[in-house]
Every structure is written in structure tokens, then in C-alpha cells.
């Protein structure tokens, strides 16, 4: 077991032995512009319950200069395998470690980025899960909290931000020293440092006596695109909402949000110093769905300041609770905060979070929400749709079950009792039980300790007058994939049943019944004797987490009139249900296309529109019968061009359809249109062909052989930014030649020089659904390389390669066979196996769906 893969048992032993008081960390970043390494000096003070015992501290670094424990210098050989052995502890200990740590280009540890626009160097840290140890010697586990004091030497012209407020820098000459005040007691993984010539915009959150300084930072080259007013507005709404609901004042001294380059995740909840991906600073027009997603991320990270940062999970097995809570909190805040621009957030939640959760929960790797996390590798592959989306869906169901008032009352008690400490799931459930008076043990066993999705179906009979004679909700246990952990169970569901009538093409809800569903069959006597409505929708309002099926008559009405629901949420639920049926082979890909073409023109929710557009493309690329696929794509491309021309000028829908055409254009006429939009020869009134849209259109022209290296180079000359370089790399990899594919492959697999973002762009360009013949030879190369990649690259980089270059577009038995042969021969570690098994499941599902689509073509 490599030393970087800390196990839960090791962490527990260490937590029993140690209490960490404080870290003093000195970082010398004065030569950052040259890259390489930086000097890191850490002094840790900690006590041990058993004097004489031994332990270790974590450090990932090229070299160590000095290790001094309680005044005694240890031999540098104590540092081995990313750990420093600490023998013979005293009751009270002081450890000093001087090391040379490395800057990274993978987004892990201390990431170094050079902006091509100004040639300046920008740094930021990203430590979750175990990467603080790449920057300073640390006891890298969440339950060894401590106070952290950072002292940073950096170029005089820089801005330096950390968890504590930025002090006035001292010194003269080319460098300055920033001496930060100690933090409160926090975990290593939420400490942070952002340094470079970033620019800031400032405001404050004020509430009575309380005044919290707010800052927003980005690179100067993005400043013209930053919209701080909108970001501060959402942030302040979040402060108001969370402080009131949690009845606990914001726990840190200030709140900075830093938009940083080449960030692997959406954002990171560092205490008082949140980092966010800087694609959230929009360089070009985006749809309102992007603003909504950004606001959700802002609120998610803010919620973590209490749930995660103030009160922290003891070990990573409760990561799900951390992420689910923040994900639930972002949606409920958007739905309820006064002045929120996105009160329809539960529609987005149904459309995106639920879809993600349902997909993940049907993979062979599915697992109970409470996952077993035995070591750090386990947790690193567990930032998944169960942890974020299913967990949040189940929390939403829990709120429906205990009531929102009781839920927040329990949460308030939990924060008060555990502030600055660590907890387990039972601590929260105990507080909720007390607040609600409901026993949550059986609820927890059914929802948190088992995997899979229940299916709810209506069963109804009518009399000769068309009145309902009997109505029941049938529940079936999850169909767990072979090899999945846990048993398949029925669960208690709190649901609403919506009754809809059709009037002039409009589907309007005429009644709603809320009930508890238990066991395989739940009668609904309230419906007996009523006239059968046009549509009966189970799980209306999306209270529970379940797959829902429509009865035959309702399905027929919905298929004809999906756009007719006057409310967004039932439309989103029906869209999700149709997509789920397509993935499950209950609806042929060609029928999903037909449904999309009839429903999309009346869909006003832009987030739903864009989701359905992505799903249609996926359905055509991998779920459609290959012999019919081209017809389907041609229909989709034609529809996209028509919708683009018909859309209201300057609208979000217009932009969304332009992007669809930019992903699927195939006739000479369509490709001429893309080229014309780029060179000005064609104009669609109201459509701004701005930087990002230009790259999207050029990407399609490159993939179809219409844009050569010169055209790509010319575009890069127009936009010689980091984002432009990524797009150019993607365009080159997309070109339909064997040489382009070989060069892209070599740059990713045979070399480790690409940054995380450029590598992702190359992989995205390489995989083109229209280029299966060119891609076919790479299946064999993939299986030959994948184990070496996993063993030699960092976690983020290898995960990108393993999931991104898997031959997912080669939907054929041969891909399954090659995967199985590799799984047998390679003896992969559990984390690597999981990634391959998940990718394989996609091909298996696609093969089944293709058979269904083929049969539909023959009917
Ligand atoms: Zn989170």
C-alpha cells in the first residue's frame, strides 16, 4: 500500500493518539515565476496520549531538508514513501519540517498557471481530498483540526489571499512577506492560499452589528468580463438565508471568492476563501442556465462554511452528507430566498441532479449512500452522483418526511452542539429525531444503507363510465446491476400525485394528493369514483427519489402534449422520465427524438431545453441503431437549423440552437452556414458570434475536415488566451485524419506535459462520434496503456484519461470482450477497476438500446 493512500484504520489510530494544536507554515514563493519547487517550512505543535508511541506525518515533496522533532534532528531518511516517521513522541511535541515542495500543473496541491495574455504567474491551492501535504507537512485527515498560521513570501506586486484576512505585507525590494493571523480550528483540506497579480473587487455583508468583508478576485485578463454585482447579490441572499435558517452567524472573519484558472471542480469551500473555476467569469454570451448554475455553486460553497467547515465529518465515509447537504441547501435557498432570480430551482434539481443520480445509481459500481471508504483512493473516486445528487435527493425526501421546520430545527441544534468539531451521521440524525419526534433508524436503513432506485407505477381500473374503480401505487425493488453491493429493498416514500386536465393543448393541474407509499402496493382511495383525468403524475413536485412510469393513457397524452404543462416542474419530470425510459430501452432512441422535436418548441425553461438537446445527441450517437443513425442525425441537424432561424433574435434559445447546430452540422449547406457565421458571410439576426461560439463552430468545421491548421492558428491569433489555447488544442485533436489522432493520443498518453485543462480539451476533441473508423485502432492501445497511466500520473490526470479515452463510442461486443479480458488480466486496484467497469456499463447499455431502436425501425 503506497504511503499516499492513507487508510481509515491508520487515520483512526492517529486520531486516538494525537491532538493537534497549531501549525505555523512559512512558504517562500518568491521564485514562483521560474516554476520548479518552493521552500516550505512547517512547525506543528501537538500532544500525544501515549508518550513513547510512534506516528507519522504526511508530505508529498521532491525532497526534505530538515526534520526536527522536539529539538532532536532526525535523519532525512525518516522521510520515505510520502510520510515522515515520527518515533518516540513526548506528551507535548514540536515538529519542524523544512522541505522543497513542487508546483503542479494538474490542479492538485499548489497549481501554477501562466496567463498567455500578460505572461504573469498565478497560483492557487486545491487540497481536497489529501493534497495539503503537497504544500506543507500535515496530518492529512479531517478530524485532526488545528489553528493554521500562514506566512508567505512572494513578489512585491502580488496579491496574497488565505483563510484569514490579508494583512498589510511587510518588507522592501522585490518581495514582501504576508503574515496572516491564525485561523480557527479547521481541517487541513479547507486551508487555502491564492497568490499572484490577481485583481479584487470588494463589498461587505451587513446585518445589524455584523459586518463581513466580501471580496471577489480574478485574473486581470478576465476583469472586463467579471460581473461582481450579480455575484455579490447572490452571496448576500445566501448570507441572509443561511444565517436565519441555521441560526448561527457566519463563522469566519471574511468571505472571499476567487475565480482561478484550470480548476478541476466547480468550486472549493476553503474556509473564508472559496475558489471557483474561472469559466464562471463568462467571456461570451451564455444562457440563463449558466447564471443559475453559477449562483447554485456560490450558494453551495457558502452553505459549506457551516456544514463541512465549521462542523466537519470525522472521516470521508460521511463525505456524502457534506456534499448532499450543500447541494440541498443551494436548491432550497434559490427556491425560497427573497429576491432570488431562480425560484424554479427545484425544476433544475429534477432536471439535472436527479438525472445524474439515476444514472449513477444504475451503474455496476452503485453503492449505498453511506459508502464504505477504507482509504483515500476509495474517496477520490467517490465524488459521484450518489454522493452529491442522490444524497441531496434523499435529503429532500427526508425534509418531506419530517417537515421543513423540524429539519432546520434539528440542523440548528447540530451546529450549536458541534461547532468547530467533527461528527458522524448519527449526530445529525439524532438531532433530527429530537426535533421531529420521528424515529429515523428504519428510514436511514432503507434510504442510506441500500443501493438502487425503486420504480413507482400506477395501477388503475376504470368502470364503463370512465370513472376510476381502483387506484394503487405499485413499488418495485431496485434492479441492482450484477456485482452491486447491498440488497434491493422497498422504501417508504412521501409522494404527491398530480391530476391534470387537457384544455386547448394546455395541461393544467386540477388536484394534488399527498400520501405515504409503503410496500409493494399502496391503495389511493381518494381517487376512487372520480372521472379519469388526462394525466396522472406520480411523484408530482418531485418529493421522492424514484423512477416513475406513466400509465398508458397518460403516456399517450404526454407524448402528444409534453409542452402543454403550464408549470415547468411537471414538464421536467416527464422529460426525465422519457429520457430514463430511453436509457432503459423502454423507449427507442428514434421515438425520443420524435418526442424532443414535438416538445422542445414549447419548452420555455432554457436549462431543460439544453439538457434535452444534450440527451438527444447522446441518444443518436450511441443508443440509435447504427443503420438508422445517420438519418436521425440529419433530422436533428435540420431541426436545429430551423429552430436557430426561427428563434427570437438574441434569445437564449437562439444561442442554444446555434450550439446544437455547431455540434451536429453535416450537410454542405449547414457547414457553409457555420463557415459563413465565422467569416461574416452569413448573419442570423440577433446571434452574437462571439469568442466562445466561434470556437464551437470552428470545432465542428475542424472535425468535418473543413478547417485546417491555418484556420485554427488564425482563430488562436484572435484569441490567444488560455481558453483559446485549450480550444485550439481541441480543434486540432478533432481533425479527421490519422495523423491528428496519433498526435493527440501521444500528447496525452505518451507525455505528461499537458496541463489538466489542455489535456481535457485534447481528449474532448479526440473523441468524435463521426470518426469511429479513425478511433477503432485506439481501443487496443487504450487497454495496453491504462494501467501504466493509473500508476504513473496524478489522480486527476489519470482519471481524465481513463474515463475520457475509454472506447465508449465503439458500441460493439468486441469492446465488452476487450474490457473483460483486461479486467481479468490486469488485476486492477478497486479504484481503477471501478472506473473501467463504469465505462463498460455505458457500452453494454448502449448495445441494449440499439437493439430496441433497431426493433422499433422494423415495426
Ligand atoms: Zn461541495
In the structure, what pLDDT confidence band is assigned to residue 112 with cuts at 50, 70 and 90?
very high
State pTM to two decimals.
Answer: 0.95
| Averaged pLDDT for residues 64-89 | 98
Residue whose cell numbers read 440542523: 411
pLDDT at 300: 98
Please report the pLDDT score of residue 383 as a whole number. 84
Beta strands in 647-715 (DSSP E): none
Residues by chain with Cβ below 5 Å of ion ligand 1: 323, 326
CA 696 to chain centre: 22
Distance 325 CA to ligand 1 centre (A): 8
pLDDT per residue over 803-819, tens digit each? 999 999 999 999 999 99
Mean pLDDT, all residues of the chain: 96
Indicate the pairing of strand 535-540 with strand 493-503: antiparallel
388 Cα to the center of ligand 1, angstroms: 8
> What pairing do the DSSP bridges indicate for beta strands 72-74 and 422-423?
unpaired
What does each C-alpha distance from 475 to 444, 479, 498 come to in angstroms? 19, 12, 17
- Whole-angstrom Cα distance, residue 335 to residue 329? 10
Per-residue HEC secondary structure of 149-165 comes to EEEEEEECCCEEEECCC
Query: Is 377 annotated in the active site?
Result: no
Residue 618's pLDDT band, with cuts at 50, 70 and 90, is very high
pLDDT digits (tens, 9 = 90+) for 270-309: 999 999 999 999 999 999 999 999 999 999 999 999 999 9
pLDDT at 482: 75
CA distances 395 to 239, 323, 331, 361, 503, Å, are 21, 11, 12, 16, 36
Q: What percent of the chain has pLDDT over 70?
A: 100
**Cα distance between residue 704 and residue 657, in whole Å:** 19
Q: What burial class does residue 791 get, using C-beta atoms within 10 Å of its C-beta: 0-12 exposed, 13-18 middle, 19+ buried? A: exposed
Instruction: Count Cβ atoms within 10 A of the Cβ of residue 326 and give its class: 0-12 exposed, 13-18 middle, 19 or more buried.
Output: buried
In the chain, the largest separation of any two C-alpha atoms, in whole Å, equals 93
Q: How confident is the model at residue 559 (pLDDT cuts 50, 70, 90)?
A: confident
Cα dihedral sign, 9-803-258-230? negative
| CA of residue 81 to ligand 1 center, whole Å | 30
- Rounded Cα distance between 566 and 508, Å, is 6
From CA 287, how far away is CA 376, in angstroms rounded?
Answer: 37
What average pLDDT does range 325-329 have in this prediction? 96
From the CA of 717, how far away is ligand 1's center (Å)? 37
Q: What's the 113 CA to ligand 1 centre distance in angstroms?
A: 24
Beta bridge partners of 96: 43, 68
The yes-or-no verdict on residue 1 having pLDDT over 60 is no
Q: What confidence score (pLDDT) does residue 371 get?
A: 82
488 CA distance to ligand 1 middle (Å): 28
Antiparallel, parallel or unpaired: β 210-218 and 199-207: antiparallel
Length of the chain: 859
**Predicted pLDDT at 669:** 98
The predicted-structure confidence for 509-549, as pLDDT tens digits, reads as follows: 999 999 999 999 999 999 999 999 999 999 999 999 999 99
Distance 40 CA to ligand 1 centre (A): 28
For residue 828, pLDDT beyond 70: yes
265 CA distance to ligand 1 centroid (A)?
Answer: 10
Please give the average per-residue pLDDT across 449-477, as a whole number.
95
Q: Specify whether the CB–CB gap between 734 and 744 falls below 8 A.
A: no
Q: How far is the CA of 303 from the centre of ligand 1 (A)?
A: 9
**Catalytic member of 301, 323, 641, 715:** 301
d(CA 536, CA 551): 8
pLDDT confidence of residue 479: 86
Distance 326 CA to ligand 1 centre (A): 6
The arithmetic mean of pLDDT across residues 466-488, rounded, is: 88
Distances (CA, A) of 109 to 125, 228, 618: 5, 27, 35
Amino acid at each position: 500500500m503506497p504511503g499516499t493512500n492513507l487508510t481509515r484504520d491508520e487515520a483512526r489510530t492517529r486520531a486516538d493518539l494525537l491532538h493537534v494544536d497549531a501549525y505555523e507554515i512559512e512558504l517562500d514563493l518568491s521564485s514562483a515565476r521560474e516554476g520548479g519547487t518552493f521552500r516550505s517550512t512547517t512547525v506543528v505543535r501537538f500532544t500525544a496520549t501515549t508518550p513513547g508511541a510512534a506516528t507519522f506525518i504526511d508530505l508529498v515533496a521532491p525532497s526534505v531538508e530538515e526534520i526536527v522533532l522536539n529539538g532532536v534532528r532526525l535523519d532525512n531518511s525518516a522521510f520515505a514513501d510520502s510520510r515522515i516517521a515520527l518515533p518516540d513522541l513526548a506528551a507535548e511535541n514540536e515538529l519542524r519540517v523544512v522541505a522543497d515542495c513542487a508546483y503542479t500543473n494538474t490542479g492538485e496541491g499548489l497549481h501554477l498557471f501562466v496567463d498567455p495574455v500578460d505572461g504573469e504567474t498565478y497560483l492557487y491551492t486545491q487540497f481536497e481530498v489529501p493534497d495539503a501535504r503537497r504544500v506543507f507537512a500535515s496530518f492529512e485527515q479531517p478530524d485532526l483540526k488545528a489553528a493554521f498560521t500562514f506566512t508567505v513570501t512572494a513578489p512585491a506586486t502580488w496579491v496574497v489571499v488565505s483563510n484569514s484576512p490579508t494583512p498589510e505585507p511587510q518588507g522592501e525590494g522585490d518581495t514582501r512577506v504576508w503574515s496572516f493571523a491564525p485561523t480557527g480550528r479547521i481541517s487541513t483540506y479547507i486551508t487555502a492560499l491564492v497568490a499572484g497579480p490577481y485583481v479584487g473587487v470588494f463589498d461587505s455583508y451587513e446585518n445589524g452589528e455584523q459586518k463581513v468583508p466580501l471580496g471577489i478576485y480574478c485574473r486581470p485578463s478576465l476583469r472586463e468580463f467579471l460581473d461582481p454585482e450579480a455575484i455579490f447579490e447572490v452571496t448576500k441572499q445566501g448570507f441572509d438565508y443561511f444565517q436565519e435558517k441555521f441560526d448561527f452567524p457566519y463563522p469566519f472573519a471574511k468571505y472571499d471568492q476567487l475565480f482561478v484558472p484550470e480548476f478541476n471542480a466547480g468550486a472549493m469551500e476553503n474556509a473564508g476563501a472559496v475558489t471557483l473555476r474561472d469559466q464562471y467569469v463568462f467571456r461570451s454570451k451564455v444562457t440563463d442556465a449558466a447564471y443559475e448554475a453559477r449562483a447554485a455553486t456560490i450558494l453551495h460553497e457558502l452553505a459549506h462554511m457551516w456544514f463541512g467547515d465549521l462542523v466537519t465529518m470525522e472521516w470521508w465515509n460521511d463525505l456524502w452528507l457534506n456534499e448532499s447537504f450543500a447541494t440541498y441547501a443551494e436548491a432550497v435557498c434559490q427556491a425560497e430566498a427573497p429576491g432570488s432570480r431562480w425560484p424554479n430551482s427545484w425544476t433544475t434539481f429534477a432536471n439535472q441532479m436527479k438525472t445524474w443520480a439515476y444514472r449513477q445509481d444504475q451503474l455496476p459500481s452503485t453503492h449505498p449512500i453511506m459508502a464504505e471508504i477504507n482509504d483515500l483512493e476509495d474517496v477520490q473516486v467517490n465524488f459521484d452522483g450518489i454522493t452529491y445528487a442522490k444524497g441531496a435527493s434523499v435529503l429532500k425526501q427526508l425534509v418531506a418526511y419530517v417537515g421543513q421546520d423540524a429539519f432546520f430545527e434539528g440542523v440548528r441544534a447540530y451546529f450549536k452542539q458541534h461547532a468547530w468539531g467533527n461528527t458522524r451521521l448519527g449526530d445529525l440524525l439524532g438531532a433530527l429525531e429530537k426535533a421531529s419526534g420521528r424515529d429515523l433508524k428504519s428510514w436511514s436503513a432503507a434510504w442510506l444503507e441500500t443501493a438502487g432506485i425503486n420504480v413507482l407505477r400506477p395501477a388503475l381500473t376504470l368502470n364503463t363510465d370512465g370513472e376510476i374503480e381502483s387506484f394503487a401505487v405499485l413499488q418495485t425493488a431496485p434492479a441492482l446491476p450484477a456485482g452491486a453491493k447491498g440488497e434491493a429493498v422497498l422504501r417508504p416514500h412521501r409522494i404527491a400525485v398530480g391530476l391534470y386536465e387537457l384544455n386547448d393543448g394546455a395541461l393544467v393541474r386540477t388536484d394534488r394528493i399527498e400520501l405515504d407509499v409503503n410496500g409493494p402496493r399502496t391503495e389511493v382511495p381518494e381517487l376512487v369514483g372520480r372521472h379519469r383525468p388526462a394525466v396522472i403524475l406520480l411523484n408530482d413536485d418531485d418529493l421522492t427519489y424514484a423512477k416513475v412510469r406513466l400509465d398508458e393513457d397518460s403516456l399517450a397524452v404526454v407524448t402528444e402534449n409534453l409542452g402543454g404543462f403550464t408549470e415547468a416542474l411537471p414538464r421536467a419530470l416527464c422529460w426525465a422520465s422519457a429520457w430514463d425510459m430511453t436509457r432503459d430501452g423502454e423507449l427507442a432512441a428514434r421515438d425520443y427524438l420524435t418526442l424532443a422535436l414535438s416538445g422542445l418548441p414549447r419548452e420555455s425553461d432554457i436549462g431543460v431545453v439544453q439538457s434535452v438537446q444534450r440527451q438527444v445527441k447522446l441518444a443518436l450517437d450511441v443508443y440509435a441503431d447504427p443503420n438508422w443513425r445517420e438519418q436521425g442525425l440529419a433530422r436533428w441537424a435540420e431541426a436545429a437549423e430551423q429552430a436557430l432561424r426561427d428563434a427570437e433574435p438574441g434569445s437564449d434559445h437562439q444561442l442554444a440552437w446555434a450550439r446544437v447546430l455547431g455540434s451536429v452540422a453535416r450537410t454542405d449547406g449547414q457547414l457553409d452556414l457555420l463557415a459563413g457565421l465565422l467569416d461574416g458571410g452569413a448573419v442570423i439576426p440577433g446571434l452574437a458570434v462571439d469568442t466562445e461560439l466561434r470556437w464551437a463552430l470552428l470545432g465542428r468545421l475542424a472535425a468535418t475536415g473543413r478547417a485546417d491548421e491555418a484556420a485554427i492558428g488564425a482563430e488562436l491569433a484572435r484569441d490567444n488566451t488560455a481558453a483559446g489555447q485549450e480550444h485550439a488544442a481541441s480543434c486540432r485533436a478533432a481533425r479527421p485524419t490519422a495523423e491528428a489522432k496519433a498526435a493527440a493520443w501521444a500528447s496525452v498518453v505518451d507525455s505528461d506535459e499537458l496541463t489538466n485543462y489542455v489535456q481535457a480539451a485534447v481528449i474532448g476533441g479526440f473523441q468524435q462520434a463521426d470518426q469511429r473508423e479513425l478511433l477503432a485502432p485506439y481501443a487496443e492501445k487504450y487497454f495496453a496503456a491504462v494501467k501504466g497511466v493509473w500508476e504513473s500520473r496524478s489522480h486527476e490526470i489519470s482519471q481524465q484519461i481513463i474515463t475520457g479515452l475509454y472506447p465508449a463510442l465503439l458500441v460493439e461486443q468486441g469492446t465488452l470482450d476487450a474490457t473483460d479480458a483486461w479486467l481479468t488480466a490486469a488485476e486492477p486496484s478497486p479504484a481503477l477497476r471501478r472506473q473501467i467497469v463504469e465505462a463498460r456499463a455505458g457500452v453494454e447499455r448502449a448495445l441494449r438500446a440499439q437493439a430496441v431502436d433497431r426493433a422499433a425501425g422494423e415495426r
